[in-house]
């Protein structure tokens, strides 16, 4: 299933992880599924990310062609980020990740509750 590709990735999953992998990229993309966001809005959604890391992640996502950065000629300049058409193709993956994460959180909570009742 995994073969050498001209892109330099030996496997399609490797290519996907190269674009959306890491702690923040999927979360950024997930928030952009609701529509374009300003930098400050993304910071509010991700309170534990540093400004430098958010900037870096946004630049990488833009370079990979999954988001756009639009600068409006205002004072102060307004910058908005949005999914590209290609980035929109990640929507089903992101929603599946959200659903799986919710199921996982519920399963962990159930397991912990069960363990707590057996301990007492």
**Mean pLDDT along residues 102-106:** 93
Q: What confidence tens digit (pLDDT) does each residue in 38-48 have?
A: 999 999 999 99
Q: What confidence tens digit (pLDDT) does each residue in 27-76 have?
A: 999 999 999 999 999 999 999 999 999 999 999 999 999 999 999 999 98
Q: Give the pLDDT of residue 7.
A: 64
CA 48/CA 33 separation, integer angstroms: 20
Q: Residue 14 in contact with residue 20, Cβ under 8 Å?
A: no
**Mean pLDDT along residues 109-119:** 83
CA 110/CA 120 separation, integer angstroms: 16
The CA radius of gyration of the chain, in Å to the nearest whole number, is 18
Main-chain phi, psi angles of 86, to 5 degrees: -65, -40
CA 89/CA 29 separation, integer angstroms: 11
Q: Residue 37 in contact with residue 78, Cβ under 8 Å?
A: no
CA 6/CA 12 separation, integer angstroms: 12
pLDDT above 90 (res 90): yes
pTM attached to this predicted model: 0.83
Please report which confidence band the pLDDT of residue 5 belongs to, taking 50, 70 and 90 as the band edges: low
The fold of 12-119 is Arc Repressor Mutant, subunit A (1.10.10)
Q: Which residues pair with 70 in a beta bridge?
A: 80
């Amino acid at each position: 299933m995994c073969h050498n590709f001209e892109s330099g990735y030996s496997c399609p999953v490797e290519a996907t992880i190269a674009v959306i992998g890491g702690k923040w990229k999927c979360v950024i993309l997930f928030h952009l599924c609701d529509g374009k966001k300003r930098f400050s809005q993304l910071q509010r959604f991700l309170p534990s990310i540093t400004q430098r890391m958010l900037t870096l992640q946004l630049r990488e996502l833009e370079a990979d062609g999954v988001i756009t950065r639009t600068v409006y000629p205002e004072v102060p300049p307004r910058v908005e980020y949005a999914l590209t058409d290609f980035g929109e193709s990640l929507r089903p993956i992101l929603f599946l990740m959200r659903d799986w994460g919710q199921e996982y959180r519920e399963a962990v909570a159930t397991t912990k509750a069960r363990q707590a009742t057996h301990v007492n």
